Amino acid sequence: MENIIIETMKHTFLITIIILFSFFGCNPKKEYPYYEIIQENITESGSKIKYEAKAVLKPNQNLDKPQMEELLKHIYDSVTTRTPARPNVVNIFLFTSKEHMESDMGQWVGRISKAKNDNTPNLQIQFLNSVNENPIIETSDSTQDGIALEQKQKIWEQLILAEDQAEELAEKKHPITLKDTGGKTAEEIDLLRERARRNMDLNREYEKKLNDKYRRDIIQKFEIDESTLEIIIQEGLNKNWPFPKKSRG
């Protein structure tokens, strides 16, 4: 009788092990593409608890739209469950690199957000390849038109910085934005507005003059022609090359 009980217990234990193995073996923990949250901030105002964050993907992860949406939902779920105060307002941006994040030009590839009264979060995906809906991954040795990728991106960067400089110099010479209006009277602000209206055409003309000069300088420096520069500009826009940090005069 004792042997029968022992054998029965062994049989029961074996069945239990098989069931557990089958469950965990067939349902492995979901692995998500590696990402890092670079910036995050939580603020509270009355009943509103707001969570904001910027996350960056590990390089060379070729995610399609469903994968990116799934990753954003995972980040959202992990954030809303791990924070001590459960946020009811969320805004999370996903970038492919720190350079895209630091450009401050809205170069995120994914966003998940939720307003206080929303029942579910909202998803947005941008800068995907229009052919196969995959984010565009490039390697440093890829070339087009006989120009290496690194060289094209250097041209792109210098052109963007030159355009920033042209905009800033035009603003200094012919101001069109209202700045430092604190403490000014309504009459003084109206005068500044009138000056800005008068400067509109002058500002645009001077900025265009500077941009034309800078473009000629870049063409001469890199020994390319105007059509090649236009191709590089379009490629940079289509492939979401990171904008350099805006220069400050």
Over the stretch 179-224, which tens digit does the pLDDT of each residue have? 777 778 888 888 888 988 999 999 999 999 999 999 999 999 999 9
Binning pLDDT at 50, 70 and 90, where does residue 233 land? very high
* pLDDT computed for residue 30 by the predictor: 57
Instruction: Return d(Cα 155, Cα 171) in angstroms, integer.
Output: 24
Instruction: Return d(Cα 214, Cα 228) in angstroms, integer.
Output: 15
What is the three-class DSSP state of 89?
strand
Task: Answer whether residue 132 shows pLDDT above 50.
Answer: no
CB atoms within 10 A of CB 125: 20
Provide the β-strand partners of residue 93: 54, 111
How long is the chain? 249
Phi-psi region for residue 5, left (φ > 0), alpha (ψ -120 to 50) or beta?
A: alpha
Binning pLDDT at 50, 70 and 90, where does residue 171 land? very high
Phi-psi region for residue 105, left (φ > 0), alpha (ψ -120 to 50) or beta?
A: alpha
Beta-strand pair 110-114/89-95: antiparallel
Provide the β-strand partners of residue 113: 91, 122
* pLDDT computed for residue 46 by the predictor: 86
* pLDDT computed for residue 86 by the predictor: 82
Average pLDDT, the chain: 81
* pLDDT computed for residue 145 by the predictor: 63
Amino acid identity, residue 23? Answer: F
The token pair at 215 is: 């473009």
Model pLDDT for residues 12-52, shown as the tens digit of each residue: 544 454 444 444 444 445 567 788 888 889 998 888 989 99
Provide the β-strand partners of residue 100: none
* pLDDT computed for residue 14 by the predictor: 47
Residue 202: which residues within 8 A CB-CB, separation 6 or more? 173, 174
* pLDDT computed for residue 180 by the predictor: 75
Task: Answer whether residue 139 shows pLDDT above 70.
Answer: no
Please state the rounded mean pLDDT for residues 220-237: 94
Amino acid identity, residue 117? Answer: N
Name, of 55-69, 139-153, 229-243, the range with top average pLDDT.
229-243
First and final C-alpha spacing in the chain: 93
Provide the β-strand partners of residue 41: 52
